[in-house]
Amino acid sequence: MFFNVDSDRGAVISGWFAADNPAVSARLAIRAPGRDEVIVKADIQRDDVRDLGIHGTGRVGFRIDKSIVPDLDELVDVEIVEADSRLPIYRRLQPGRHLEKKLILFDAALMPQRRVLDQIRDNFALTYFSCERYSLETTLVLIGNHHPTSLVVTGRPNVNRYASHLDNAGFIKTAL
């Protein structure tokens, strides 16, 4: 999966999402506490994505505005996930609640450390646990995503494969 959030201007969140299966339009779920999910298709034409060779047609863009979520500019906690896999795409930063850091936690334990992960989840806007389950391209997108400033990735990724990408993206590297 490839994706990018171009901007969050309060009343408008825009970006693009290219699913692993190029024959389908990706469906995104907009989530906010105490509300039903709103499903949108990422099917706005994005010639830039097509020209990069990421998607054959380029119909991968999305624009979430007040016509979809009427009070979007007033929502403090709003999250966008891929509707089928539930992969987090974007979550609005909450200053004072979320740390503005990028962290990768190499967890070599046989069983994930649930208490540690629960504490981490509450302190970062975007969390990706067990990243070894994602494909190489998806993991590189997570690491190279420039928009989020509060992001944590955990799991057992191949450190040699991702080291330079983590350095370039400014990640703090830790291990258990």
* DSSP of 7-76: EE-SS-EEEEEE-SSTTS-EEEEEE-TTS--EEEEE-EE-HHHHHTTS-SS-EEEEEE-TTTSTTGGG-S
CATH number reported for the structural domain that contains residue 58 in this entry? 2.60.40
On whether both 138 and 62 belong to a single domain, the answer is: no
Q: What's the alpha-carbon Rg for the chain, to the nearest Å? A: 16
Per residue in 88-128, pLDDT (tens digit) is 999 999 999 999 999 999 988 877 788 888 888 889 999 99
Last residue of a domain, one of 32, 59, 92: 92
| Domain housing 134 | 93-176
* Mean of pLDDT over the chain: 92
Say what the pLDDT of residue 165 is. 95
What is the number of domains present in the chain?
2
- Verdict on whether the full-model pTM lies above 0.85: yes
On whether both 110 and 137 belong to a single domain, the answer is: yes
